[in-house]
Each structure stands twice: as structure tokens, then as C-alpha cells.
Structure 1
Amino acid sequence: MKPVLLSVLALSGLLSTSCRQTTSQAPSQAEINAIGLKRGSITMCGPAQGQKLGTASFGTSCPAAAQPDFNLALSLLHSFEYDEAEKVFARVIAREPGCAMAYWGVAMCSYHPLWTPPSPAELTKGAKAIALAQRLAGKTNREAAYIRALAAFYQDWNRTEHKVRALRFEQAMAAVHAQYPQDSEATLFYALALDAAADPADKTFVKQKKAGFLLQALYPGQPHHPGILHYLIHTYDYPELARLALPAARQYASVAPSSAHALHMPSHIFTRLGLWDECIASNRAATESARCYAASAGLPGHWDEELHGLDYLTYAYLQQGQNQLARAQWQYLDTIRRVSPVNFKVAYAYAAIPARYVLENRLWQQAAHLPRHPGPLDWQQYPWQAGIIHFTRALGQAHLGQPDSARREVAALRGLHSELVRQKDAYKATQVRIQLLAAEAWTLLAEGKAAAAEQRMRQATDLEDHTEKHPVTPGEVLPARELLADMLLQRHRPQEALAAYEANLIKHPNRLNGLRGAATAAAQSGETAKAARYRKQLRKLAPVAPNPEAAAAHLSSYRRP
């Protein structure tokens, strides 16, 4: 089904027919059990003096005794602590089975708008919960509007593409916001819906800018609201917009330190701005909190949030030339055999952390033979992440002068790209396509076909320029424009290489190899002042020299004929 926007009239009809209140009777225990609610005590790690999750409030028609728990669940929901939020919403349902908004909360916990689309099991749970919320009478008009809006997302979930349903939710929340303009929660969830429905290829950031305008208007009056701070970070998680979120990034962790996700999220902006000390501090705190959560919750193995933070932490260490600490993250990752839940974030970290280390350090021999992590993954379920391994191997083999081996990795990438096209996952297919073009470019160069190699590399660069990174990653494993600059420098065209390095540094400030390449290209171009400036930045960025093996490998990549 093509993602066609519904008209306001059609959407209104859809929502009104989907929310006919048929009875005021509370659901039976069997109906509640059929949802499959997560239950149990709330597990959070943070300050010794109780939970600190910020301040969020939503007045409901449920009995007053349920209001504190509802607000707690809402605060958890705004920090994407979905499992713990669902437990609290379940606690409200256990006490007040007629509380319609508690079922809405469960359905919101199953959506997670900015992550990967919900699984069939999550969609089934959310659809059951929102159906019960729709059925219950006694709701206020405001509550009914929220429930209708979320029902628009779940309707026909097994026959309608996720993107179409996300657009439905955006339009429905726009209607709720228009109907209740003074309701800050309606504004917040509308902003979140805008971010979730934004087109990754839209470089004008129309929806993100609209969301940012709404959130910035709320911020002065509610500086301790976790959702405002959190969504500002996501809204501006783009090179062109990142500086707008820096105040929120520097505040969010202190507002909600009991949330591992809140401790990590500021590093999205720190990464965008090349603020590596702050990024490292953020993810050290987040990974420690995630380990505490896994132990406290009795999870089988490690929590997925820990691996997500490890990827950001590894990336930041590499940008400061702290290879020993970066390597330590990879070695630690190799000890992790059980993760809960196993998902796309876990697969990405397993692939990206070792790939980053060998590629950033130009360790081509290790790159050429990079193994897949023998952890709990079925790699066939994660074509995008598996592509990172093949991309890394192809670059390693091409740089070692082994184009036949590299061709086999290119063929594997082509197969993964075809699989993602078949799955109609356009974003991930594009990401693998970029890697495929770059890997083919360096393979062609190894075969002595320089002109064709440059053409492929420019195609990869143009494609990457028109897409954005996924929130799961701190950045591309290697930026395409930096790879183009490397190729131009290797082909003895330093002035063109310098322009490419500088363009890439605008999007990826304080990237260590970008600065190294720019310094080398500037020196070879005779631009001594510029070369000196980049060397000064390098000394400030990475005062401790990288290990000799990495430095020699890096330089040798520019000395090939």
C-alpha cells in the first residue's frame, strides 16, 4: 500500500467509527490477561534517594488514588522506559480496571515511535489494549480524543504499512493538539508523532522544525519535563540543527538520572557536535546504569540499552585517539553472549563496534577477516547490520590488493540490499546501497579501474548526502564523503581531497581521521597555514598519540600508487 495521506475528513470518519463506546462495564479479568501485560516491581537505577524521572502530569477521569501511578508511568513513557512504564500502567489497571487511559498507556508502550517498527506481538498487544480503552465509557472528551488518535495507528496493522499508520497517528495527534491547544501533553505527543513520521530524505526538516517550535514553546514553563527535553534532542538530532538541542542535552540527564536512556540520549547531540568528553561521560553513566538495571531486573544476560551505549562510547573514544579504551569496549563486547531483548540495537552494536575499531585505525588485515559476533543473533534477520560486516571485509580486502575476495563481499552486500528492497524497508535498503557502492568503489580501485572507482564513490556520497543516520547509531561506520576524500588523496589530488574532507567535517565535526586527512591534504596542497590549523586541532582533540601500528596503517593508506 502506498503511503498516502488521509484527508482530515476521512481521518475524522475513521476515528469516530473506531471509537464507539459500547459499554461502561470494566473488562473481565480474562480480557485483561489476554493483553499479556508486563507486571512486577519497578526497576530503576540512579540516585540513592529514590527515583528521579522528571515531572510529568496528565489529569485523568480515573479515581484520584490512581493519579500518582499514572503520572509515574507517563514520566517513564516519555523517557522511553517502555517495560517499566507498562508495569506501572498494569498496576493502575489492576487497581482500576475501568481506567481507559491506562490501556492507552499500554498501547503507547507497544508503539515506541522513534525506534524500529513494533513487532507483530507488540502490535497485537497494543491493538488489544486500545480496543479495551475504546470500549470503556465514562471517558472525558479529551481522553477519548487521545484514544481515537492512537487507535488510528493500530487499525488494520496487519494489512497496512507502518509508515502509513505513523502518518495517521501524526494527523490524528494534530487534531488533538488543535482541539486542546493548552494541553501540553497533546503538544508533546503531536511533536513526537511529527518526528516519527518525518521523511529521512527530507533535508528541509519540515516536520522536525515544526516539532521543535512546539517543544521550544513548552520548555520555559516546564524545564523539568522529561518529554520536552527528550524530544528536543530527537527533534534536532541532525548536523544542521544539533546546536539548538545543546541546552536540553546538558539538562536531560540531571532531570531524569534514574533512566539509563535519559543518561544516554544527550550523547546524540554531543556526537553531532564533536563534544567527545561529554559524549564519553554520558555513555559511561548510561552503560553503568544499564548494567545495574539488568542485574536488578534479573534479566537473562545484558540489557540491550547497554550495547547501544557501548557503540556510542567506542565511537567517541576512537575520535580522541584513545584506542586502548576503544579496544577494551570491543573486548568486553566479545564476552557478552546473552542479551535481553535481542533486537536491532543489539545487532547493530555487535556489527558496528568491531568494524569501527578496525576501519578507523586502518587495520586492513583485521578488517578483511572480521568475523560475525557469535552471540545470540540470527544474522539473517538483520540484513542492514550484517551488511556492516561485509562492507568492512570488502574495504580490508580491497586495501590489501585482494579484489577477487572483495568482490565476494560486494556480492553479499548486493544480496542483502535486494532482501531489504523485497521487505520494502527503503531506509535500510538505502544504507546498504551506500555501503555497496563504497565497497565496489574501493574494489574497482584495487583492480586499477580508478575512474570507475571514483564514479561509484561519488554515487555513494551523493546518496548519503540525501539521507540521515538512524538514531541507533552515532554515525556512519565510515562517512562516504570521507572515503571519497581518502580516495582522492590516494590518487594524488590533494586539493580536491581537502575540499571533500572539509565538507565532511561540517557534518561530522572533530572526526579524528577527517582532521588527519585534512591536515595531510592541506600540506600536500601547499596550504601551510591551513595544515597547521588542522594539526593544532588534532593536538587538542587527541593529545595522546595513537599507537604506532594504527598511525602507520593510516598513513600507508595514502601511499598506495
Structure 2
Amino acid sequence: MLIATSCQEKRAQTEASLASVDLLRGDITLCGDSKQFGEVSFALSCDEAARETFDLGISLLHSFEYDEAEKAFVKVMDMDPDCAMAYWGVAMSNFHALWLQTGTDYLEKGAKVLALARNLSLSEREKDYLDAIGAFYEDYQNTDHKTRVSRFEQKMEEVYRKYQDDKEATIFYALALTASADPADKTYKNQRKSGEILEALFQEQPNHPGIAHYIIHNYDYPELAELALPTARRYAEIAPASAHAQHMPSHIFTQLGLWEEAVHSNRNSTASALCYGESIDPEGHWDEELHGMDYLVYAYLQMGENEKALEQYEYLKTFKKVFPVNFKVAYTAAAIPARIALENKNWEQAAKLELPPIQMDWNSFPWQKGLLHFARAMGAIRLGDKVSAETELALLHTFHQELLEQKDAYKANQILIQIKIIQAWIQFENGKQEEALALMQEARQMEYNTAKHPVTPGEVLPAGELLGDLLLAMNKPTDALEAYEEDLKRHPNRFNGVYGAAVAARAIGNKEKANRYFQLLLSLTKNANSNSNSNRKEIAEAKAFLGGA
């Protein structure tokens, strides 16, 4: 009797402690007619009535629908406060494995929930799972993010090796490998290892959302993208109710220059994200909608469909409130106007760009803010306005220093590439061609040595493509053609890369290559070039060269 009373008191204390944690509760918001997020089956020693909700939480977690996943796990905790894995689920929902989050609220929440979970009666497996995610939250006040992610990966490997029949342990270990990958490692050691593990599982579980999702993330690089194409074409069917699952295949379509598939993917994604956003906050826009919009604009620009790209920009300008305010929102808000101006070589527009009126603290996002100031600098120098270009360049140096002080080497390097590019064009404007070329080649090599961040469909202007532009401006078409062709290996079917290669080939009298590239340009822009109102002069130029083809 005393034991029973003690257990009841302990449970009451746990429930009281949970009430002090700011957990996400309420109805689980699902969009789309199917409400399908894939098939998972997680071994669970909790109330059987909670199994369906728990598996839904796992499915949502695998498609990065983090808030709704947390709601699902909290619902399980309410049904069965002794279900240790529900606490684990909440901690996992607050750990966004592939994103660097801001603030510490999510860390405080995860640490508190895990502390409560350790007061429960735990099986050995439950303890091991809790220890693995606990390695990420442990001593977060004094330990950097990279170290904590590495600790999670090491602990998750122990779980994976100890419970070899536990497929979810295998999948979460594969995710941990991806999360801890070194962005400077161009051998993609972790990504390849994770991909191999997941591909073996995919044969057994073809409708599992996490397996498909993480394969795509592992191969979201120019050198590896082809490996993920079959999976990319499956993921949206596996989890049709997930905005992120609709979007994620476009990472691979973008890497391979499959623009129509990228557009289809992101139109579906943004529609689903809009549905979700309106359900949560009718006055705001969900970050997943903005993320899809950036990829959509990028694809439209490569197809020469300026009007559709501009429609997205005008829509973006109507946004006032977004949620959550994070790096994805900041990136899209800065990248869309920069892309439209720079891709169209509208230097006047680029030089005068302003950030959309979204309610957010831009000082928290120096890398993203740098995109806009890079565009302004590029516009200014291409107009011959060296004073304004130098002003914008000084701001880029400031952003670079901020990121160094934050110990964010990756983003600091992204800004440094932009700095080198602007310095190159300033030197060219000063008549110092050798110095300009050296700086531009250095920027290209830096970019080629850096893995693409998953937030972006691609650089607002690739350094390799800009090297081709610089060489053309120096009247070196042979070298320019080589630069464009090299960059097209990394950025296939890019409008300006294809056009640049065609112009360079024409300049050196290589009619065969000029024909091929101009024909490719017309093929990529077949929807735009059938429109007599198309404002891409490059399309008209291609038609004229090919004799009105």
C-alpha cells in the first residue's frame, strides 16, 4: 500500500512538473485531404491506446513538422505520463537536427523534459534513447552546438549497434551522421555512410518518411544528387500531407536542373504550407511557405518565367508577420529580391534593393542580410558606381566579422566569397584585370570547396558563372566558355550559365557549341519563349541566332 501511494505521489509530482514546462498542446494540425505522413512502427512499452498518436508523432518528426510532432508526443504524455519515449519525442522535436536554431528556449525545454523522464521507471532501451538525445542538451550553457551534435551522433551509434533489430534506431543514427557531417568535407564521408545505411532499409520499408527524407538530404550536393533522384520522386507520395515532404524533392530537382519538377514540387509545398499557416495563425505565414517560395522563384528564373517569379515577390511584399522567425524566413526574404534583380542583370534594381517589410530583427541574421547588400554592391559596381559599391563592401566586411565572432565559420565563409567577388569587379572597374581575375578565381575555388547549405536552392549568382561573365567582359571568350562549362557541371541548366556559354562559343566561332547552347536555352524556356511578351532578351537573341527557331 505504501509502494502504491509512493508511485501515485511520484506521478503527481511529475504531472505538476510538466505543467511548469511550456509544452505545445492542442489539436494536431494536419493539411491535405489524405492526412498521410507515411508508415512507421516504433516499438513502444506505453499505453497501447497511445500507439497511433505516438507513431503519428514519429512520422511528423521525420518530415520536420516539429511543432505538430511535439503536440502528438505531449498528447501521449497526457494519456500515459509514465511513457518515457513520449518525453524523448518532445526532446527530439525541439532538436532540429539539420538546422542551427537561435536562442536557448528550446534547449531549456528539452533539458527540463529529459530531467523529468529520468525520474520514471525506465527500461534499458528507453534509458539509452534518452541518454542519446540527452547528449545534445547536456551542459548546453557551456558547450557549443557542433560538439553537442557530435555527442548525439556518438551516443546514437551506440544505440544503433546495441539494438540492431530496431529499425528506428538505425534511421535516427543515419540522421545523426548527417547532422554531424563537416560542411567542409567534400568527400561527403558522413553523408555517404548515412545514405548507404538508409538505402538498405528503403527496400524493406518503401513507405517510411524518414528514410526517404534523409536520403535526399544526404545527396543534396552536385556530386551526389543523381543518387537521390528515384527517392525524390517517391517522397512526396509517401507523405502527401507534409509541406516539407512536398518541398524536399525539389532539392534534388534543383541540383539536376529539372525545373518543371522543381516548380511542381514547390507549388504543392507552398499550398500545403499556406493551409497549415492559416490554421495556426491567419495573420501570419509559416516559414515552410517562404522556404518553398525561394526554390520556386529560383526555378522560374531558370525557365525565363519572370512574370511568375515577380508574382511571388509581390506576394512576399504583402507579408508582415511570419512564424517562427528564423534563418529560413530571413534567407528567403533577402534572397528572392536579390535573385530577381541579379539573374536579370537589372543592375539599377539591384543597386536600390530594400528588405521586405517583415517583422523581424535583421541584426540577428548577418549572413542573410549580406545577400541583399551583395546584390546592392553588384548592382552599383556594374553601373560604374564605385563609391556605393565600396560602401556596400564595407557592410559585407562588418557582417563577416560578426559571424567570425559568433564562431559561425560556414556563414562567415559565404560572406567572404561575396567580398572576393565584389573586390574582383571593383578591380576590373579600376582597370586592374590581373588582380580582378585572381580574386574572381579565388572566390570560385572557395565556393567549389564549400558544400551548399540546405536552406538555399543555390547561390544568388554562382562564382563560377560570374568568372565567365568577367572573362567575357575582358574579351577572353575562350576562357569564358571554359568557366561557364565548368560551372554548368555544378549548376546544370542555369539560364545565365547556358546563355553565357552560347555567347562565348559564338564569339570564338564555335558554331556547333553556340547552336547547342542556344537550343538548350530555348528548350529550358519553352513556356516563356512561346509568350510574345517575354522580357528576357536572351530568348530573342537565341531565336535570332538559330534563324527564328
Task: Tell me the TM-score normalised to structure 1 length.
Answer: 0.92
Structure 2 CA distance for partners of 1:299 and 1:278, relative to 1, 3 Å: same
Within 2, Cα distance between the matches of 1:436 and 1:197?
28
Within 2, Cα distance between the matches of 1:118 and 1:197?
18
Within 2, Cα distance between the matches of 1:135 and 1:471?
38
After TM superposition, the structure 1 = structure 2 runs for residues 313-352 of structure 1, keeping only pairs within 5 Å, are 313-352=296-335
2:60 corresponds to which letter in structure 1?
Answer: L
1:75 corresponds to which letter in structure 2?
Answer: S
Within 2, Cα distance between the matches of 1:474 and 1:554?
27
Within 1, Cα distance between the matches of 2:360 and 2:398?
19
Within 2, Cα distance between the matches of 1:475 and 1:551?
23
Aligned match for 1:244, one of 227, 235, 248: 227
8 Å contact 2:522–2:539 — kept in the other structure?
A: no
Q: Are 2:32 and 1:46 equivalent residues in the alignment?
A: yes
Within 1, Cα distance between the matches of 2:427 and 2:290?
35
Q: Are 2:10 and 1:25 equivalent residues in the alignment?
A: yes
Task: Tell me the TM-score normalised to structure 2 length.
Answer: 0.94
Q: Are 2:22 and 1:36 equivalent residues in the alignment?
A: yes
- Please state how far the C-alpha of 1:314 moved relative to its aligned partner: 0.2
Structure 2 CA distance for partners of 1:394 and 1:553, relative to 1, 3 Å: farther
- Please state how far the C-alpha of 1:240 moved relative to its aligned partner: 0.7
Which SS does the other structure have where 1:227 is aligned? helix
Within 2, Cα distance between the matches of 1:64 and 1:326?
49
Aligned match for 1:113, one of 82, 93, 97: 97
Within 1, Cα distance between the matches of 2:153 and 2:115?
19
Q: Which residue of the partner structure matches residue 73 of structure 1?
A: 57
Q: For residues 359-416 of structure 1, what are the alpha-carbon distances to aligned partners after superposition, in whole Å with 9 as ceiling and x for unaligned?
A: 0000000001111222112111100011011100111011101111100000000000
Aligned match for 2:452, one of 448, 456, 469: 469
8 Å contact 1:369–1:393 — kept in the other structure?
A: yes
8 Å contact 1:112–1:118 — kept in the other structure?
A: no
Number of equivalenced pairs:
531
8 Å contact 1:394–1:443 — kept in the other structure?
A: no
Q: Which residue of the partner structure matches residue 212 of structure 2?
A: 229
Q: Are 2:184 and 1:201 equivalent residues in the alignment?
A: yes
8 Å contact 2:14–2:116 — kept in the other structure?
A: no
Structure 2 CA distance for partners of 1:30 and 1:487, relative to 1, 3 Å: same
Aligned match for 2:70, one of 86, 94, 110: 86
Q: Which residue of the partner structure matches residue 168 of structure 2?
A: 185
- Please state how far the C-alpha of 1:345 moved relative to its aligned partner: 0.7
Aligned match for 1:131, one of 115, 126, 149: 115
- Please state how far the C-alpha of 1:549 moved relative to its aligned partner: 5.5
1:277 corresponds to which letter in structure 2?
Answer: E
Structure 2 CA distance for partners of 1:205 and 1:447, relative to 1, 3 Å: same
8 Å contact 1:24–1:136 — kept in the other structure?
A: no
Q: Which residue of the partner structure matches residue 408 of structure 1?
A: 391
Q: Which consecutive residues of structure 2, in runs of 5 or more, have no partner in the other structure? A: 1-6, 542-549
Within 2, Cα distance between the matches of 1:406 and 1:226?
47
Which SS does the other structure have where 2:203 is aligned? helix
1:488 corresponds to which letter in structure 2?
Answer: L
Structure 2 CA distance for partners of 1:548 and 1:493, relative to 1, 3 Å: farther
Within 1, Cα distance between the matches of 2:241 and 2:131?
32
Within 2, Cα distance between the matches of 1:528 and 1:467?
35
- Please state how far the C-alpha of 1:182 moved relative to its aligned partner: 2.0
Q: Are 2:464 and 1:481 equivalent residues in the alignment?
A: yes
Same amino acid, percent of matched pairs = 53
Within 1, Cα distance between the matches of 2:164 and 2:301?
46
2:422 corresponds to which letter in structure 1?
Answer: A
Q: Which residue of the partner structure matches residue 436 of structure 2?
A: 453
Within 2, Cα distance between the matches of 1:24 and 1:348?
49
Structure 2 CA distance for partners of 1:433 and 1:23, relative to 1, 3 Å: farther
8 Å contact 2:499–2:538 — kept in the other structure?
A: no
After TM superposition, the structure 1 = structure 2 runs for residues 232-311 of structure 1, keeping only pairs within 5 Å, are 232-311=215-294
- Please state how far the C-alpha of 1:156 moved relative to its aligned partner: 0.5
Within 1, Cα distance between the matches of 2:423 and 2:357?
27
Q: Which residue of the partner structure matches residue 545 of structure 2?
A: none
- Please state how far the C-alpha of 1:23 moved relative to its aligned partner: 12
Structure 2 CA distance for partners of 1:23 and 1:519, relative to 1, 3 Å: farther
Q: Which moved more, 1:299-308 or 1:546-555?
A: 546-555
1:180 corresponds to which letter in structure 2?
Answer: Y
Structure 2 CA distance for partners of 1:253 and 1:552, relative to 1, 3 Å: closer
Which SS does the other structure have where 1:339 is aligned? strand
Q: Which residue of the partner structure matches residue 81 of structure 2?
A: 97
Within 2, Cα distance between the matches of 1:277 and 1:554?
21
- Please state how far the C-alpha of 1:298 moved relative to its aligned partner: 3.0
8 Å contact 1:79–1:230 — kept in the other structure?
A: yes
8 Å contact 1:304–1:339 — kept in the other structure?
A: yes
Which SS does the other structure have where 2:20 is aligned? helix
- Please state how far the C-alpha of 1:142 moved relative to its aligned partner: 1.7
Q: Which consecutive residues of structure 1, in runs of 5 or more, have no partner in the other structure? A: 1-21, 556-561
Q: Which residue of the partner structure matches residue 64 of structure 1?
A: 48
Within 2, Cα distance between the matches of 1:34 and 1:58?
28
- Please state how far the C-alpha of 1:215 moved relative to its aligned partner: 0.1
Within 1, Cα distance between the matches of 2:236 and 2:355?
34
Aligned match for 2:134, one of 151, 160, 163: 151
Q: Which residue of the partner structure matches residue 6 of structure 1?
A: none
- Please state how far the C-alpha of 1:89 moved relative to its aligned partner: 0.5
- Please state how far the C-alpha of 1:24 moved relative to its aligned partner: 10
Within 2, Cα distance between the matches of 1:344 and 1:527?
45
Within 2, Cα distance between the matches of 1:549 and 1:140?
66
Within 1, Cα distance between the matches of 2:493 and 2:320?
33
- Please state how far the C-alpha of 1:498 moved relative to its aligned partner: 0.7
Within 2, Cα distance between the matches of 1:180 and 1:24?
33
- Please state how far the C-alpha of 1:526 moved relative to its aligned partner: 2.0
Within 1, Cα distance between the matches of 2:9 and 2:72?
23
After TM superposition, the structure 1 = structure 2 runs for residues 206-221 of structure 1, keeping only pairs within 5 Å, are 206-221=189-204
Which SS does the other structure have where 1:209 is aligned? helix
8 Å contact 2:31–2:242 — kept in the other structure?
A: yes
